[in-house]
Structure 1
Amino acid sequence: MLGSQGNYLWGEWIVKSAQQVLVDVHWQADELAELSALQPALVLVFGSMAFFEEASFMQRLQHCFPGAALVGCTTAGEITADGVLDDHCVVTALHFDGVTVQVAQSAVGAMEHSREAGVNLGSTLHPYHPQAVLLFGKGLAINGSGVIEGLMQSLGNDVPITGGLAGDGGNFKRTLVLSPEGVSDDRVVAVGLSGEGVRVGHGSFGGWSPFGPPRKVTRSEGNVLFELDGEPALNVYKKYLDVYAKDLPASGLLFPFEMLNADHEQVGLIRTILGVDEAQGSLVLAGDIDGDGYLRLMHANTNGLVGGAEQAAIATRERAGAHSQGGVAILVSCVGRKLVMGDQVDEEVEVVASVLGDDVLLTGFYSYGEISPFSSTTDCKLHNQTMTVTFIHEV
């Protein structure tokens, strides 16, 4: 059931059980009393920078949930069953009967340490044999693809990994991650879910349309793009953006790249720009790119993006199968989608809710990168400009 009380919303569903509270910047610890009574094993916290920067934020959460793993990050918008909000904090408590929750965290001091951080996470979780992993990381100065590859190196390719990179509105200045060790601007945190009773479904889809010719990647390193067709990548990109170029990197959210292989074939991945280097004429993308491949610009409209969200939800429900009733769904959508849809952004959350059903609790956030396997596999990738849905249920 869903109701309201004061300045927050709350809900109760079965995971075995979960509750959610939405608070504003003046939240008080007693507002979380109903969640604390659940004795949750895992508490997911997604909110704006104002919450995470508050000096007593972690201390108050620990007081409310002394036995729970506290995990989350800052956002570019918060997602609840009632739609999309800004400048709030969504706290979702999950109680399990037979599922073990194990948390690992690692520092990413510089972008080139991303893969190493993923290896560290996987090494910590591997002894617990997780059936699924939730991954949240800082949204800037990170190679999300590297973190995922390192994690899979330690865990193998058979464990589904889902989650997202933290946001900072559309400011691209600073993001924060919450782990049991506190709030930090240089962390990635992974939650391993172990036990025979845990069931996880996932789906990820975009809804963007390509335009313009494919451009050959002629120089790149990891997630840094230096040249397209032999020209500085930033110069090529600015030619396409025209009047939007002055607002980079934020305007890059409206025009991501579609990745193509050496034969000009789609590979199912989109890359968003997270930063620009005027001196080198390079673009910093959210994840790795194929140095032998091609890139093509993309754009979108609301109908296409809502349709993509629906496809992600359908894939999630199909993968969850008979266990798609009840449970919790974590929605991670790209901030670029939010900018394109504007006041209509609630529509993509509404369509996911309609597909999954009223008995599924929705939580999540708008991100700088989405983490999910392709819908038909457990091979995890960093996605951009997608709606990614993770469904968790205990049987």
Structure 2
Amino acid sequence: MQIQQASFKPGDDVAAALAPLSAIAPQLVLVFAAPQFFTDKDGATRLAGQLQAAFPAAQLIGCSTAGEINGACVQEDSAVVTAVHFEHAHVLAAATELTSMEASYAAGQKVGKALAHPELRGVLVFAPGVAVNGSALVAGMTAALGSSLPIMGGLAGDNGAFQQTWTIGTDGISPRAVVAVGLTGAQLQIGHGFFGGWRAFGPARCVTRCEGNLLYELDNEPALEVYKRYLGDYARDLPASGLLFPFEMLGDDLSEVGLIRTILGIDEANGSLLLAGAIHQGGFLRLMQASTDALIDGAEVAAEKTVGMQQPATPHLALLVSCVGRKLVMGDRVEEEIEAVTAKLGQQACATGFYSYGEITPFAPGVACEVHNQTMTITTISESV
């Protein structure tokens, strides 16, 4: 397995930056780029053409970001491209347009069916970060592929604006495409882990009305009204400030279920909150907050979970997908969580990834995948020797 990585800014010589990557004849190319690479239509078309010209035989996959991860560094206003040449594994690709948020389940099921293969070992998927029900998308993929197959990836970002995001596939760049690759081969080794580091505060409140990932009422009050009371002065900066105060999901008996939900949007007219994943009517939610040290410690825990599933002596790809809310909390210290993770993964790991609007990974090996929020998720991919 060979891995090469490059990073460039708008206006750089892209062909020169990509030449060392194309030299390894990759089958898979991951692309994570800042929104400005996509907002100009001509620029987006040019980037897609440059990638396709450099990697005519590879499957391209990636998305826009709220920050790019390049090794142990966190970058902004850049594109990070990572090329992977497998000695034995094969890469399948699938994509579909997400026509509406309500079509998320159907889109996931369509992509899952297109990737179904008897030797499938894992799937990477990237989806729009706005107007999407990430939970339904993953549920559709799981229905097609089975609950034991690991599905990893995330929802695209646009630097916290929550206006428009983009994904990148072999067919080009789109604001509404769900893109995925399936990895096949008996010698593939895939590791995964996640952790948060947030702590809950305040009382648990009952979800008295919701539809999928739309939260209308908490304790029979408009959800937005309740949320604003807790945020105080932060409320004037919604929806962006919602990244600092996500919800912890609790079961009907107030037990923890291991899921966090981020606020992606608000509707003043009906007093609702748009969340990054589904919630359950009759369940309970509790607000959360975090400190920088707790988030860094959580990232280390995620790395430790992953290391045990990988052969440390072999080169491997490390895909890091972390929530933009974590980036906002940590501020100038954001690189510390990436440094903590890469130190745990070791020198054989080539790290890439991005700050997202939702992270996708299994709860544990053999357990169904879910959309997580406010977590650091790590996927490692290698081939056994």
Relative to the length of structure 2, the TM-score reads 0.97
Q: 1:70 aligns with which of 57, 60, 69?
A: 60
- Residue equivalent to 1:25: 10
- Residue equivalent to 2:320: 331
Does the alignment pair 1:367 with 2:352? no
Question: How far did 1:82 drift?
Answer: 3.3
AA in 2 matched with 1:257:
F
How far apart, in 1, do the equivalents of 2:377 and 2:191 lie?
Answer: 11
- Which stretch shows the higher mean deviation, 292-301 or 77-86? 77-86
- Residue equivalent to 1:352: 341
Does the alignment pair 1:51 with 2:37? yes
Does the alignment pair 1:199 with 2:189? yes
Does the alignment pair 1:36 with 2:26? no
Structure 1: segments with no counterpart, 5+ residues: 1-15
How far apart, in 1, do the equivalents of 2:126 and 2:154 lie?
Answer: 5
8 Å CA contact 1:47, 1:87 repeated in 2 = yes
Question: How far did 1:292 drift?
Answer: 2.0
How far apart, in 1, do the equivalents of 2:116 and 2:123 lie?
Answer: 11
Does the alignment pair 1:222 with 2:212? yes
- Residue equivalent to 2:179: 189
Q: Deviations over 1:247-275 (max 9, x none)?
A: 11100000000000000000000000011
Question: How far did 1:378 drift?
Answer: 3.2
Question: How far did 1:325 drift?
Answer: 4.0
- Structure 2 counterpart SS, 1:27: coil
Q: Deviations over 1:44-74 (max 9, x none)?
A: 0001012234131101111111111111000
AA in 2 matched with 1:329:
A
- Structure 2 counterpart SS, 1:203: strand
- Residue equivalent to 1:3: none
Structure 2: segments with no counterpart, 5+ residues: none
Question: How far did 1:214 drift?
Answer: 0.3
Does the alignment pair 1:393 with 2:378? no
Question: How far did 1:109 drift?
Answer: 1.2
AA in 2 matched with 1:326:
P
Does the alignment pair 1:271 with 2:261? yes
How far apart, in 1, do the equivalents of 2:143 and 2:12 lie?
Answer: 41
- Residue equivalent to 1:117: 107
Q: Deviations over 1:130-161 (max 9, x none)?
A: 10000100100000001100001000012100
8 Å CA contact 2:320, 2:378 repeated in 1 = yes
AA in 1 matched with 2:158:
D
How far apart, in 2, do the equivalents of 1:128 and 1:246 lie?
Answer: 52
AA in 2 matched with 1:349:
I
AA in 2 matched with 1:387:
M
How far apart, in 2, do the equivalents of 1:377 and 1:210 lie?
Answer: 28
8 Å CA contact 2:327, 2:334 repeated in 1 = yes
AA in 2 matched with 1:43:
V
How far apart, in 2, do the equivalents of 1:81 and 1:37 lie?
Answer: 20
Q: 1:341 aligns with which of 330, 349, 361?
A: 330
- Residue equivalent to 1:241: 231
Question: How far did 1:97 drift?
Answer: 1.3
8 Å CA contact 1:48, 1:87 repeated in 2 = yes
Q: Deviations over 1:343-376 (max 9, x none)?
A: 0000000010111101210000000000000135
Does the alignment pair 1:147 with 2:137? yes
- Residue equivalent to 2:285: 295
Q: Deviations over 1:298-345 (max 9, x none)?
A: 00010000011001000011223x457420100000000000000000
AA in 2 matched with 1:300:
A
1:279-318 residue pairs with structure 2 within 5 A? 279-318=269-308
- Structure 2 counterpart SS, 1:56: helix
Moved over 3 A (4+): 322-325, 375-378
How far apart, in 2, do the equivalents of 1:366 and 1:334 lie?
Answer: 5
8 Å CA contact 1:204, 1:375 repeated in 2 = no
Of all paired residues, the percent bearing the same amino acid is: 53
How far apart, in 1, do the equivalents of 2:133 and 2:289 lie?
Answer: 23
How far apart, in 2, do the equivalents of 1:120 and 1:267 lie?
Answer: 28
AA in 1 matched with 2:29:
V
Q: Label 1:208 to 1:377 Cα distance change in 2 as closer, same or farther (>3 A).
A: farther
Question: How far did 1:27 drift?
Answer: 2.5
- Structure 2 counterpart SS, 1:307: helix
- Residue equivalent to 1:6: none
8 Å CA contact 2:249, 2:279 repeated in 1 = yes
- Structure 2 counterpart SS, 1:378: coil
How far apart, in 2, do the equivalents of 1:373 and 1:324 lie?
Answer: 25
8 Å CA contact 1:202, 1:390 repeated in 2 = yes
Q: 1:156 aligns with which of 139, 146, 153?
A: 146
Does the alignment pair 1:135 with 2:125? yes
- Residue equivalent to 1:11: none
Question: How far did 1:379 drift?
Answer: 1.2
Question: How far did 1:127 drift?
Answer: 3.2
Question: How far did 1:192 drift?
Answer: 0.2
8 Å CA contact 1:104, 1:191 repeated in 2 = yes
Q: Deviations over 1:168-194 (max 9, x none)?
A: 001111100001111001111111000
- Structure 2 counterpart SS, 1:191: strand
AA in 1 matched with 2:191:
G
8 Å CA contact 2:7, 2:17 repeated in 1 = no
AA in 1 matched with 2:326:
R
